[in-house]
Amino acid sequence: MEHRPQISDKDKMDSSDIRIGKFAKKNNMSVDTIRYYVQLNLIHPLRKGKYFYFGTEQQEQLDFIKHYKDMKFSLDDIKILMYTVQFHILETPIRSNYIESLLHDKRIQLLQEREQLDATIQKLNDEIETVKQQPVKNRDGKGIAFQHLELLCCPVCQESLTIEEGTLKNHSVYHGKLTCNCGVTMDIEEGIIITSEMNHPISHEEQDDSIRNLFATISHNFIEQMLYYVEETTRYILQQDLASKTVLFMKTGAGTLALNVLRKLPKIGMLILFDEDLNQLKVTKNTIDTHYPDYNILYVGGSLDLLPIKRKSIHLAVDFMASFEAAFEKSYNLYQDIMKHMHTHSSIMGLFLYFKKNAVLSRLESEQRKLLDGYFVRNYLKKYQYELIEDSEENMLDIGKGIDDFYQQGDRAVTHLDRYSR
């Protein structure tokens, strides 16, 4: 039978010769924890001046606490047990019966908790099996559908593009080249049109940890804010009649917004998903090909100024921090790339970020300061007859991906959702 620590009934203060730091280290515990036990009167050290000293008796008290904590007793329960043991005026049988009842009650409580835990574990096992066995609609990747070819044209001369060295898969062009008589050439890799030379070739490694990596590298507060804006942006998009319209996502990112829209939108004419990060675009494409294979989607990576589609063909452009990242990282106005593609009657929906504090703006280059001014996009779009139809209240954005190194203590970006139309 395991030996239960005893609370000493002798005065052993003469052996109290170590301070709280050494006592905590000896027991592999923090000083704050020992101090907390002292405040609760669970440990009674000897006080000399302003210092506490700990010896054999205090060690016995701590051992007593640890012994019953291992049996899941709360500190309040342990205090009752400790006081019960120290009640020498009570008869031993009475004291023993009371302690036995406390132990018995704790055992019943733990057995009940174990039943609940077993039931919860079984639910988790069932959920794991459900996720593992969830049917997948389509595991084969898709390329560029033949009906998309009519939309494609040379970004330089606006002439039709020709497919060369094409490899077909699922009745679509999966690999190949797009060429024009003027000399423009673009590659097609895994159904993605690459408009410019790749800085990072498409990775063929498994991307199973992409979500895990996202949570490991970005603050949870930032993710929570972004998911809120995903829902708000989706709500606006769903209000539009897009059954025969072309929609451009100026930056696809992790694909969260696109997937949320596809999950809720019954029909869309054409969706163009663009991103400079080809590996990220590939992950998004694989997910969409698996779960939403019937949507008309064109994937474009590389450089947005070489977007190979006909002019005035986009009815809605979605800017989910795309212009902010281009301005911040490259001091570049992304809107000058898409204006030639916007339909005469079109809309722009954006999650716009900018800086307001002079202390932040002063650390930016002059062109960045202009692009990240809160009124730049509004004034720029106004020159193209876009009217601000709806805007949201300003919110302060927590530190997020891509700007962590720039941020200093107290920095914040201002963000708001705007909708423009002409």
- Going by C-alpha positions, the residue among 150, 151, 190, 185 that lies closest to residue 169 is 190
- DSSP assignment of 6-39 equals PPP-S--GGG--EEHHHHHHHTT--HHHHHHHHH
- Going by C-alpha positions, the residue among 34, 44, 29, 42 that lies closest to residue 73 is 42
- Going by C-alpha positions, the residue among 263, 244, 260 that lies closest to residue 252 is 260
Choice among 47-61, 85-99, 351-365 with the minimum mean pLDDT: 85-99
Strands (E), 264-394: 270-275, 297-301, 314-320, 342-354, 387-391
- pLDDT tier for residue 11 given thresholds of 50, 70 and 90: very low
Per-residue confidence (pLDDT) for residue 117, from 0 to 100: 93
Domains and CATH numbers, the chain: 13-86 (1.10.1660.10), 210-421 (3.40.50.150)
Check pLDDT > 80 for residue 221: no
Per-residue confidence (pLDDT) for residue 419, from 0 to 100: 93
Q: Alpha carbon of 317 to those of 114, 218, 249, 341, 347: distances in Å?
A: 54, 26, 6, 10, 7
- pLDDT tier for residue 363 given thresholds of 50, 70 and 90: confident
Per-residue confidence (pLDDT) for residue 38, from 0 to 100: 94
Find tokens 């570049």 and name the residue: 332
User: Rounded to 5 degrees, what angle do the CA atoms 416, 274, 349 make?
Assistant: 25
* Residue pLDDT, tens place only, 162-217: 888 888 888 889 999 999 999 999 999 999 999 986 544 444 444 455 556 666 66
Q: Mean pLDDT throughout 395-400?
A: 67
* Residue pLDDT, tens place only, 106-165: 999 999 999 999 999 999 999 988 877 766 555 667 888 888 888 899 999 999 898 888
Provide the phi-psi class of 76: left if phi over 0, else alpha when psi is between -120 and 50, else beta.
Answer: alpha
Choice among 30-34, 62-66, 89-93 with the minimum mean pLDDT: 89-93
CA distance 348 to 421: 6
Check pLDDT > 70 for residue 397: yes
Per-residue confidence (pLDDT) for residue 88, from 0 to 100: 56
**Residue 325 DSSP SS3:** helix
Q: What is the pTM of this model?
A: 0.69
Terminal-residue alpha carbon distance, the chain: 84
Per-residue confidence (pLDDT) for residue 12, from 0 to 100: 44
Per-residue confidence (pLDDT) for residue 132, from 0 to 100: 78
Percent of the chain with pLDDT strictly greater than 70: 84
CA distance 313 to 384: 16
Helix (H) or strand (E) holding 106: helix 92-132
Q: Mean pLDDT throughout 374-389?
A: 91
Check pLDDT > 60 for residue 5: no
Which residues neighbour 307 within 8 Å (Cβ) at sequence distance 6 or greater? 155, 195, 248, 272, 274, 300, 337, 338, 341
* Residue pLDDT, tens place only, 276-317: 888 889 889 988 988 888 888 999 998 899 999 999 999 999
* Residue pLDDT, tens place only, 309-325: 999 999 999 999 899 88
- Going by C-alpha positions, the residue among 300, 14, 53, 282 that lies closest to residue 152 is 300
CA distance 60 to 39: 17
- pLDDT tier for residue 13 given thresholds of 50, 70 and 90: very low
* Residue pLDDT, tens place only, 84-110: 877 655 555 666 778 888 899 999 999
* DSSP conformation class of 373: S
Per-residue confidence (pLDDT) for residue 387, from 0 to 100: 94
